[in-house]
Structure 1
Amino acid sequence: MKTVSNCVEDILITQPYLEEALSRNIINYSALAVELTEPISKMLKKDVKPGAIMMALRRYNPPPTLGNSIKMKRVIQNLGDITVRSNLTDFTVKNSETLINNHSKILERINKEDKLFYTFTRGIHESTLIISSSLNEFVHDNLKNETFLAVQNGLSAITINLPQDNSKIAGLYYHFFKRLAWEGIVLYEVLSTTNEFTILVEDEYVDKAFTAIKRVKA
């Protein structure tokens, strides 16, 4: 049978910012209990008193704050260089039997110009090619028989070099996403390899995004 405590936990888990603020003791328990009265009453299908919710909030035991873990601090302190590349275009095309062959022609061109930015991600139904805008016409020509789902110009990529043991740390990406969300920065794409993490944003957000990521590292 679902209890008030269960409902409080469900709500806090789905709202990590609220859970973090609660764990840092910067929330008014009484005011939050009043705010949660209506949603919890609906979840339990009966009237619930704010006092019962406040008691559940005080008893709630949040997980250790990720930012305070020793491993997390070490990883963040050891973040590598932050690199920005601008003048990029994102092409998203529908997967087809001819896509790989047509894509190989683009790879041949890229191999001749090592300073170009390039990434390719193949999903279940679609693939995304992100490349320096100087090759836009070349990409269009070689994919002219493919079905374009989206094309976006005016993008910039911000890449963060991660420490070798980053894959062993739970919640590392959360710190980046939290800071970017707080700053109101819209992410167009998110890319990663084992030791690199890249966000793609429209040019209007690049300065703000770069500053936000530096604050995570600081």
Structure 2
Amino acid sequence: MKTIASCVQEIIISSPFLEEGLSREIINFSALAKDLNKPISNMLRKPVKNGAIMMALRRYQQPLNLENSNRLKTTFKALGDITVRSNLSDFTFQNSKTLIRSHSQILEKISANSQIFYAFTRGILESNIIISSSEKESITNAFKNETLIGSKDKLSAISIYLPNGNSEIAGLYYQIFKRLAWENITLYEVVSTTNEFTIVVEDDLVDKAFSVIKRLKD
């Protein structure tokens, strides 16, 4: 049976910004109760009072797994180097039978130059390449017979080196995404390996994004 408290919990859990605001104690309970009155009334199929909603908000406690919470804190404090690479370009191509052949041409060309940033991701219908902008012409030539879905210049990548065992910790990526979203930072691409996590943002957001990532260690 649904109650006001269960409705409040359902709404908060499905709204990361709202949950974050409550945890920071920067949301006015009275104003929020008025805002939630209609959806909660609809969920319960009867009118409810703002005071009852406000009481449920004050009593709400975030689900807390102390063991996992401590592991998250330990992991963030153990984050490795944070590397920033700028002057990047992004290309998305439609998958085809010849795409890998085109891809191999690029690998052959850049294999001897460790200074070139390169990331390749193959999805079900399309593939993505992030590469140093100095290699744009090489991409154009190698993929000239492929279908280009989209491209973007003036990008930067921030790579974070994660400690071993990070894949066993629930909510690790969620915490990173949540903090970036709270600062209104749009992610253009995300690339990850077992112990390395890279976000790609437009150049005008890189300083702000770097500050957020750096504060994860605090």
TM over 0.5: yes
Q: Deviations over 1:115-173 (max 9, x none)?
A: 21111001111100111111111111110111101110111100010111211211122
Deviation for aligned residue 1:29: 3.4
Deviation for aligned residue 1:24: 5.5
Alignment check: 8 A CA contact 1:162 1:195 kept: yes
Quote the residue 1:212 is aligned against: 212
Q: Secondary structure at the match of 1:19?
A: helix
1:131 aligns with 2:127: no
Quote the residue 2:145 is aligned against: 145
Deviation for aligned residue 1:58: 4.0
Alignment check: 8 A CA contact 2:76 2:216 kept: yes
CA RMSD of aligned residues (A): 2.2
What aligned pairs does 1:172-183 form with structure 2 within 5 A after superposition? Answer: 172-183=172-183
Inter-CA distance 155–27: structure 2 relative to 1 (3 Å threshold): closer
Deviation for aligned residue 1:69: 2.2
1:96 aligns with 2:106: no
Alignment check: 8 A CA contact 1:179 1:212 kept: yes
Quote the residue 1:63 is aligned against: 63
Q: Distance in 1 between matches of 2:204 and 2:24?
A: 33
Inter-CA distance 6–186: structure 2 relative to 1 (3 Å threshold): same
Alignment check: 8 A CA contact 2:16 2:178 kept: no
Read off the aligned partner of 1:72 and give its amino acid letter: L
Alignment check: 8 A CA contact 1:5 1:56 kept: yes
Alignment check: 8 A CA contact 1:20 1:65 kept: no
TM-score of the superposition, structure 1-length normalised? 0.90
Inter-CA distance 5–210: structure 2 relative to 1 (3 Å threshold): same
TM-score of the superposition, structure 2-length normalised? 0.90
Q: Distance in 1 between matches of 2:97 and 2:57?
A: 55
Inter-CA distance 186–65: structure 2 relative to 1 (3 Å threshold): farther
Alignment check: 8 A CA contact 1:23 1:65 kept: no
Gaps of 5+ in 2: none
Q: Secondary structure at the match of 1:153?
A: strand
Of 124-133 and 54-63, the range deviating more from structure 2? 54-63
Between the two proteins, the alignment pairs up a number of residues equal to 218
Q: Percent identity?
A: 62
